[in-house]
């Protein structure tokens, strides 16, 4: 639901009634991830998608029905070998859908409206809804923000809201969307409820060090992938808005000094990617010495193999360990035979995506590995979450 928050927030502001279908869980080669949503208003207008086209018609009708009867429903769709023409996913996957009406008279509308407003404005928020459990709990919601208190509730056991809020906040901190299982009395045991927790967080950061022509192409593809992109270079003549109009931020500073300040201010997280394109030892060594010790998702550095070996030697001399060096992606990017700045940027972006999703970078043709990887899936006991 929060993936189409901007449009849904406009519907709320316009006073429209609507129903939203949200992907709760997937299996196999499902085309969309948990949190993907399709919404239908009372006029029949539809936005979003839950399957890329396979079951949109059936889900559309479920939304129309939910608007009429006010009932929250859960439905699963998958491919049937017995009836290949039945409504299902031709890709062979399985998706579980939660359909929730959001009408003016519904008690949960203010909570969902607040969640949509927060997500639409770029704020951090998580909303939890019961996907499977007693009928009296369905449709209710809890909104959690990073600063503390939660809004809404499920109206069940007094410990239930507090437990779900605490678990949802942990998922929000990690920027995760997925399913939480918790007992109906709020304990993490007993007869479980399945609760869908959707997190909306500010976009991840890409920091590009080195204001060179390759950086301009990388900025463009970084924006395309949804990153908030910063370009940093110590040379003011190169680090200009005219050269990098698509960048969200241009910083003129020594790279290691800027990175240290950003880390101290809490401006980095486990989704941040750092791309070092300077291939100049006086910039690279102090920058990478720090970068390889930070809890970020990706650290890559440009340069030839000879540059890479010399850089590694210098990093060892300043105390960087072999374990820390193992984190460095250098020479940066996947082997695409890239030559131009645009091709090189594509190579770097491909490696970032493969690193994030757990892909091998190998061709899919002739392979027997899954097309969709769950490389970022973290299952810790009772919680199953995906990016």
Is the pLDDT assigned to residue 117 strictly greater than 70? Answer: yes
The per-residue pLDDT for range 69-115, each reduced to its tens digit, is 999 999 988 754 444 334 444 555 688 999 999 999 998 999 999 99
Q: What local confidence, expressed as pLDDT, does residue 372 receive?
A: 62
Is the pLDDT assigned to residue 148 strictly greater than 90? Answer: no
DSSP 114-167: HHHHHHHTT--EEEEEEEES-GGGTT-EEEEETTS-EEEE-SSSHHHHHHHHHH
Phi, psi of 181 (to 5 degrees): -110, 125
354-381 average pLDDT score? 67
Is the pLDDT assigned to residue 350 strictly greater than 90? Answer: yes
301-326 average pLDDT score? 94
Is the pLDDT assigned to residue 380 strictly greater than 50? Answer: no
State the Cα–Cα distance between residues 387 and 380, nearest whole angstrom: 14
**Residue 378's pLDDT band (cuts 50, 70, 90):** very low
The per-residue pLDDT for range 211-266, each reduced to its tens digit, is 999 999 999 999 999 999 999 999 999 999 999 999 999 999 999 999 999 999 98
Q: What local confidence, expressed as pLDDT, does residue 30 receive?
A: 62
**Residue 26's pLDDT band (cuts 50, 70, 90):** confident
**Residue 386's pLDDT band (cuts 50, 70, 90):** very low
Three-class DSSP category at 206: strand
**Cis preceding linkage at 331, omega within 30:** yes
Number of C-beta neighbours around residue 325 at 10 A: 15
- Residues whose CB falls within 8 Å of the CB of residue 111, separated by 6 or more in sequence, listed in order: 127, 141, 142, 143, 151, 152
**Residue 31's pLDDT band (cuts 50, 70, 90):** low
Query: 51-57, long-range: CB within 8 Å, 24+ apart, which pairs?
Result: 51/77, 51/89, 51/95, 54/88, 54/89, 54/90, 54/91, 55/87, 55/88, 55/89, 55/95, 57/87
Smallest CA-to-CA distance from 202 within 275, 125, 265, 294 is with 125
CATH assignment of 205-357, among 1.10.1660.10, 3.40.50.720, 2.40.30.130, 3.30.750.24: 3.40.50.720
Is the pLDDT assigned to residue 387 strictly greater than 90? Answer: no
Mean pLDDT of all residues belonging to the chain: 86
Residue with tokens 């995506």: 353
Phi, psi of 23 (to 5 degrees): -70, 120
DSSP state of 339: -
Q: Name the residue ranges covered by the structural domains of the chain.
A: 10-101, 107-202, 205-357
**Residue 314's pLDDT band (cuts 50, 70, 90):** very high
Taking each helix axis from N to C end, the angle separating 281-291 and 255-264, rounded to the nearest 10 degrees, works out to: 20
Q: What would the two tokens of residue 259 be?
A: 């990175």
Is the pLDDT assigned to residue 338 strictly greater than 80? Answer: yes
**Residue 328's pLDDT band (cuts 50, 70, 90):** very high
How far CA 313 is from CA of 29, 73, 260, in Å, comes to: 44, 60, 22
Q: What local confidence, expressed as pLDDT, does residue 202 receive?
A: 85
Q: Is the pTM of this model over 0.85?
A: no
314-325 average pLDDT score? 96
State the Cα–Cα distance between residues 116 and 95, nearest whole angstrom: 23
Strands (E), the chain: 18-27, 37-41, 46-48, 73-78, 94-102, 125-132, 141-145, 150-153, 177-183, 192-200, 205-209, 228-233, 249-252, 273-276, 298-301, 328-329, 378-380, 383-386
């Amino acid at each position: 639901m929060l993936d189409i928050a901007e449009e849904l927030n406009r519907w709320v502001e316009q006073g429209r009634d609507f129903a939203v279908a949200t992907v709760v869980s997937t299996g196999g080669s499902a085309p969309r991830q948990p949190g993907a949503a399709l919404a239908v208003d009372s006029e029949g207008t539809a936005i979003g998608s839950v399957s890329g086209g396979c079951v949109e018609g059936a889900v559309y009708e479920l939304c129309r029905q939910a608007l009429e009867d006010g009932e929250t429903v859960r439905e699963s769709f998958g491919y049937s070998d017995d009836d290949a023409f039945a409504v299902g996913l031709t890709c062979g996957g399985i998706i579980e859908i939660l359909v929730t009406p959001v009408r003016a008279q519904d008690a949960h509308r203010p909570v969902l409206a607040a969640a949509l407003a927060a997500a639409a404005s770029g704020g951090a928020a998580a909303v939890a809804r019961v996907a499977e459990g007693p009928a009296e709990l369905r449709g209710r919601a809890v909104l959690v923000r990073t600063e503390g208190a939660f809004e809404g509730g499920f109206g069940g056991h007094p410990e239930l809201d507090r437990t779900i809020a605490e678990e949802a906040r942990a998922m929000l901190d990690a920027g995760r969307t997925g399913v939480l299982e918790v007992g109906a009395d709020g304990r993490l045991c007993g007869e479980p409820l399945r609760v869908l927790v959707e997190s909306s967080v500010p976009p991840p950061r890409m920091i590009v060090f080195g204001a060179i022509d390759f950086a301009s192409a990388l900025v463009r593809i970084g924006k395309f992938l949804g990153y908030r992109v910063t370009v940093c270079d110590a040379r003011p003549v190169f680090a200009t808005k005219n050269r990098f109009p698509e960048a969200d931020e241009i910083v003129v500073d020594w790279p290691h000094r800027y990175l240290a300040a950003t880390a101290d201010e809490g401006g980095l997280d486990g989704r941040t990617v750092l791309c070092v394109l300077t291939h100049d030892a006086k910039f690279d060594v102090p920058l990478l010495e720090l970068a390889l010790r930070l809890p970020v998702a990706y650290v890559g550095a440009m340069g030839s193999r000879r540059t890479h070996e010399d850089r590694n030697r210098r990093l060892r001399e300043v105390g960087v360990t072999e374990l820390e060096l193992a984190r460095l992606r250098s020479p940066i990017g996947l082997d695409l035979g890239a030559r131009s700045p645009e091709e090189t940027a594509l190579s770097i972006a491909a490696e970032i995506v493969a690193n994030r999703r757990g892909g091998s970078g190998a061709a899919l043709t002739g392979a027997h590995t899954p097309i969709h990887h769950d490389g970022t899936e973290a299952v810790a006991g009772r919680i199953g979450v995906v990016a």
